[in-house]
């Protein structure tokens, strides 16, 4: 299983939100410094979310570029990717994969275009769930689709990688949705990354046992609940 330590960027700083609430922000420092710590611990990937991009209040493209140029980490990044041009800019700057969110619901043809232009390995589709339905527009609205319904549409279009987040658990250290992620993995026959609520090493162990492809590690790292080196060891043994 691949571990993706995460950096959420808001107003140029590494932060965590509580349950996707932009009014409940904790600041943890400079994104580039944190990325270097991830690399020093042995991480191969970093998951970056541009929260300003997600809520259409600007971008943190410069911070993402700094991480790409200052480390050897493979970058998976999303937040406000609403055009093929934005995806191209991120890939050209050094990102390995781009996460598409709202447009997976509103403009699926953009995802198909990205698959055709950049290949399956460069595209991740976010399945952000709130109360059982896919959340869009910075998690502020809900669509009429379940994660499984949307995921099946996208797999038929050729998507291989998905990022599944239970928004209600994000940043709360209450435990990741292990059953939901494993069920989605089986239903889609795709590589699904679990996100939202990882609280301790046992969450990672159980995800791996259930055959989940990857996991996002966020607040549990920042609050010193999980040692990154130990988490990486568990995911790779």
Active site residues: 8, 128
Cα 28 from Cα 40, distance rounded (Å): 18
- Output the CA–CA distances (angstroms, integers) from residue 32 to 71, 133, 192, 223, 229, in the order listed: 9, 34, 27, 18, 19
Cα 112 from Cα 96, distance rounded (Å): 18
Going by C-beta distance under 8 Å and a sequence separation of 6 or more, which residues neighbour residue 92?
none
Helix, strand or coil, per DSSP, at residue 100: strand
- Output the CA–CA distances (angstroms, integers) from residue 214 to 61, 139, 236, in the order listed: 25, 22, 11
């Amino acid at each position: 299983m691949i571990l993706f330590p995460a950096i959420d960027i808001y107003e140029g700083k590494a932060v965590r939100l509580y349950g996707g609430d932009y009014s409940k922000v904790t600041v943890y420092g400079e994104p580039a410094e944190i990325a270097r710590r991830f690399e020093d611990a042995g991480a191969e990937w970093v998951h970056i979310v541009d929260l300003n991009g997600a809520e259409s209040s600007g971008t943190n493209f410069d911070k993402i570029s700094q991480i790409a140029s200052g480390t050897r980490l493979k970058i998976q990044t999303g937040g406000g990717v609403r055009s093929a041009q934005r995806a191209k800019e991120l890939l050209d700057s050094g990102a390995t994969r781009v996460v598409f969110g709202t447009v997976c619901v509103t403009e699926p043809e953009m995802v198909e275009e990205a698959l055709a232009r950049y290949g399956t390995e460069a595209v991740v589709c976010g399945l952000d769930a709130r109360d059982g339905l896919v959340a869009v527009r910075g998690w502020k609205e809900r669509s009429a689709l379940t994660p499984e319904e949307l995921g099946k549409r996208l797999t038929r279009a050729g998507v291989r990688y998905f990022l599944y987040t239970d928004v209600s658990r994000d940043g709360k250290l209450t435990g990741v949705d292990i059953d939901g992620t494993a069920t989605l993995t089986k239903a889609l026959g795709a590589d699904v990354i679990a996100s939202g609520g990882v609280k301790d090493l046992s969450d990672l162990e159980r995800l791996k046992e259930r055959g989940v492809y990857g996991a996002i590690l966020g607040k549990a790292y920042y609050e010193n609940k999980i040692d990154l080196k130990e988490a990486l060891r568990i995911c790779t043994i």
